[in-house]
A and B are shown apart, each in its own frame.
Chain A
Amino acid sequence: MLKNAWYVAGWANEVVQGKPVGRTFLNEPVVLFRQADGSPVALSDLCPHRFAPLHRGKQRGDVIQCGYHGLEFDATGRCVRNPHGKEPPSHAAVRRYPMIERHDLLWIWMGDQTKADMSLIPNQLSFITDHSLAHNRLYLHAKANYLLMVDNLMDVSHALYLHAGSLTQEKMREDYEPEVKLIDGVTTMIIRHRNIQPPPFWASAFPKGTTTLDRQERSWGYAPSIVIHETAYSQPGQPPHTEGGASARGVHLYTPETDSTTHYFYSLSRDYHRDSPEVQERIQREIHRIFSMEDLPMIEAQQRNIGDRDLMSMRPALIPSDRASVLMRRHLASLIAKENAAHG
């Protein structure tokens, strides 16, 4: 896993002042809490005394008090109070992880603190808080390695079969030709279809009886594990994002929890029926259903089959539709190799 990178730790509204949250990222237990001034903090969740989880303690002001024996730690991880003796031992400190809030998300840096650079968070994510769009958000916990989750989004040909009743039409299986490029470390894909009937998920975006639309799907894969994916339907012959069309752009933010489990944060931003509570609710139900009843069972079953083996070592019979996921994996592997080499 790439350590020197920003990973999503949570939606901003998941961490409320006074209520510490415990989560594991890249196999490391972390406690998240918010100080009085609103700034979010991430510390190692292991109390250095006897390794009890700090998130089971109390937040007192800007300090975390361990629930087991009462040692207190400030936002820098320093032990500021030892109720049972004089000075706390100098090694009674917890690691602090850089944390910032951007795009309504909390981001954590799991690697070398001196390398934490805010500009590495993709600017393209600003659509998540764009007020001209309507948004649906969710969180899922996946019992699968984060790379299998990334593969799922980098190869959206799976939607032709796995989501045949919701997101795609059979006609899209013909002439399925994604164009894939790797530009400045971002793996991009674009695919177009003409004269497609809107699939069930999209039917409500158009007047009843709409049977023919053009379709464009695009995605951007950012290392280590963020995929932005957009679908845009338009009137026949018209480009995407024009009158009479409808589009939605989603971001899939995967953070490894352990080697075999992943935190899946998702946001979908649409430009149609923005003010309809019915559409808002229907979309929320549908995306939750599709991801948890269609995607996750398949990916989790894959994980059980593969176990802790490296996918490429199993010599998968790759096909051209794998290009985007292969490029994303290879690029990430080269970043990890560089990081490990630098580490010595």
Chain B
Amino acid sequence: MALKLLVRTRSGGECELEAKDGLTVMEIIRDAGFDEVFAICGGSCSCGTCHVLVAESWFAKVGPPGMEEGYLLESARHRARTSRLACQIRMTSELHGLQVTIAPEE
């Protein structure tokens, strides 16, 4: 089954992306050609630039950030309760239909 990821971009547009099982949300958004999720460290949880806000209804399933992720999110200007780094969310069938918003630029 093809998984789906719903992304709201910085300009407010909504996109439905095909999400391959096992890829991270960062990889899916980046591979779809979005420049906004910079992910300058290539997804190694080292830069904090792939900041996304998970939709409230999905946050319990996605879960809170890990420790290292938390350090990077601490200083994120637009940090919110449902903030995560996209490179740390891996797609599974459980997350089919996941909705995220790309956080405003730092």
Is B56 at the interface (CB under 8 A from chain A)? no
- Asked if A181 contacts B40 (CB within 8 A), the reply is no
Chain A residues near B14 (CB, 8 Å)?
none
- Asked if A323 contacts B68 (CB within 8 A), the reply is yes
- Asked if A330 contacts B48 (CB within 8 A), the reply is yes
Q: What interface size band does chain A fall in?
A: 10 to 19
- Asked if B46 contacts A322 (CB within 8 A), the reply is yes
- Asked if B42 contacts A330 (CB within 8 A), the reply is no
Indicate whether A315 sits within 8 Å of B38 (C-beta atoms), given known contacts A320-B46, A326-B47.
yes
Indicate whether A180 sits within 8 Å of B71 (C-beta atoms), given known contacts A319-B46, A320-B46, A322-B46.
yes
Q: Please, which residue of chain A has its CB at the minimum distance from the CB of B47?
A: A318
Q: Please, which residue of chain B has its CB at the minimum distance from the CB of A182?
A: B71
Chain B interface SS verdict (over half): loop
Is A337 at the interface (CB under 8 A from chain B)? yes
- Asked if A316 contacts B40 (CB within 8 A), the reply is yes
- Asked if A330 contacts B44 (CB within 8 A), the reply is no
Is A15 at the interface (CB under 8 A from chain B)? no
Per-position 1/0 for B51-83, Cβ under 8 A of A = 000000000000000011001101111000000
Listed in ascending order, the chain A residues whose CB lies under 8 Å from chain B are: 180-182, 312, 315-320, 322-323, 326-327, 330-331, 333-334, 337
Listed in ascending order, the chain B residues whose CB lies under 8 Å from chain A are: 38, 40-42, 44-49, 67-68, 71-72, 74-77, 106
Residue pairs across A and B with Cβ atoms less than 8 A apart, 11 shown, are: A182-B71, A312-B40, A318-B40, A318-B46, A318-B47, A319-B41, A323-B68, A326-B48, A326-B72, A327-B72, A333-B106
